[in-house]
A and B are shown apart, each in its own frame.
Chain A
Amino acid sequence: MEEKQNWMEWITTLDRRYIFLLVAISVIIPIVIGVILPVNVSPEVRSVYNYIDALPEGSTVMIVLDYDPASEAELYPMTLALYRHCFDRGIKVMSFTLWPNGAALIERAFDTIKLDYSESEMFPDGIRSGIEYVNYGYQVGGALVIIAAGQDIRTAFSTDYRGNSTASMEILEEINSLGDLDYVVDLAAGSTIDWWVIYGVQRYHFTLGAGCTAVSATQYYPYLNTGQLNGLIGGLKGAAEYEQLGGHPDRALAGMTAQSSVHALIVFLVVIANVFYFLTRKKG
Chain B
Amino acid sequence: MQLVRKHIPIAVAFIMGVAMFFQFYIPTRESSNFLSDVTQWNRVIAGFALLLGIYSLLNHHFHKLRRRSPGWGFSVVVYVGFFAMALAGLIWGIRNEPPIPTLNASGQVIGQVEVFVPFLWMYQYLFVPMQATMFSILAFYIASAAYRAFRARTREATVLLLTAIIVMLGRVPLGAFLIGYHPFGGEEEFLPWLTGWILNNPSMAAQRGIMIGIGLGMISTSLRIIFGIERTYMGGGD
Residue numbers of A with Cβ under 8 A of B are 14, 16, 19-20, 22-24, 27, 37-40, 42-43, 68-73, 100-101, 103-104, 107-108, 111, 140-142, 144-145, 147-148, 151-152, 155, 161-162, 214, 217-219, 221-222, 224-225, 235, 237, 256-257, 259-267, 269-271, 273-274, 277-278
Indicate if the CB atoms of B171 and A274 lie closer than 8 Å. Answer: no
Q: List 5 A-B contacts (CB under 8 A).
A: A68-B131, A148-B43, A151-B35, A270-B150, A277-B151
For the complex formed, measure the closest distance between the CB of B16 and the CB atoms of chain A, giving whole angstroms.
13
Query: Please, which residues of chain A bring their CB within 8 A of the CB of B211?
Result: 219, 222
Indicate if the CB atoms of B131 and A256 lie closer than 8 Å. Answer: no
Complex: A100 Cα to B49 Cα, angstroms? 13
Residue numbers of B with Cβ under 8 A of A are 32, 35-36, 39-40, 42-43, 46-47, 50, 94-96, 120, 123-124, 127-128, 131-132, 134-136, 139-140, 142-144, 146-148, 150-152, 161, 164-165, 168-169, 171-174, 176-177, 188-189, 192, 196, 199-200, 203-204, 207-208, 210-211
Indicate if the CB atoms of B207 and A222 lie closer than 8 Å. Answer: yes
- Tell which of A69, A107, A145, A219 has the most Cβ of chain B within 10 Å: A69
Taking A262-B143, A269-B143, A273-B150 as contacts, is the C-beta distance between A256 and B192 under 8 angstroms?
A: no
Which A-B residue pairs are the 9 nearest by beta carbons?
Answer: A141-B43, A37-B173, A260-B174, A69-B131, A221-B204, A260-B172, A69-B128, A16-B144, A70-B131
For the complex formed, measure the closest distance between the CB of B58 and the CB atoms of chain A, giving whole angstroms.
16
**In the complex, residue of chain A having the shortest beta-carbon distance to the beta carbon of B177:** A37
Indicate if the CB atoms of A73 and B136 lie closer than 8 Å. Answer: yes
Complex: A260 Cα to B175 Cα, angstroms? 8
Majority DSSP secondary structure for residues of A touching B = helix
Indicate if the CB atoms of A264 and B95 lie closer than 8 Å. Answer: no
Indicate if the CB atoms of A218 and B199 lie closer than 8 Å. Answer: yes
**In the complex, residue of chain A having the shortest beta-carbon distance to the beta carbon of B210:** A219
Taking A14-B147, A152-B36, A221-B207 as contacts, is the C-beta distance between A142 and B46 under 8 angstroms?
A: yes
Taking A19-B144, A69-B128, A265-B143 as contacts, is the C-beta distance between A144 and B39 under 8 angstroms?
A: yes
Indicate if the CB atoms of A19 and B43 lie closer than 8 Å. Answer: no
Which one, A42, A155, A224, contacts B36 given CB within 8 A?
A155
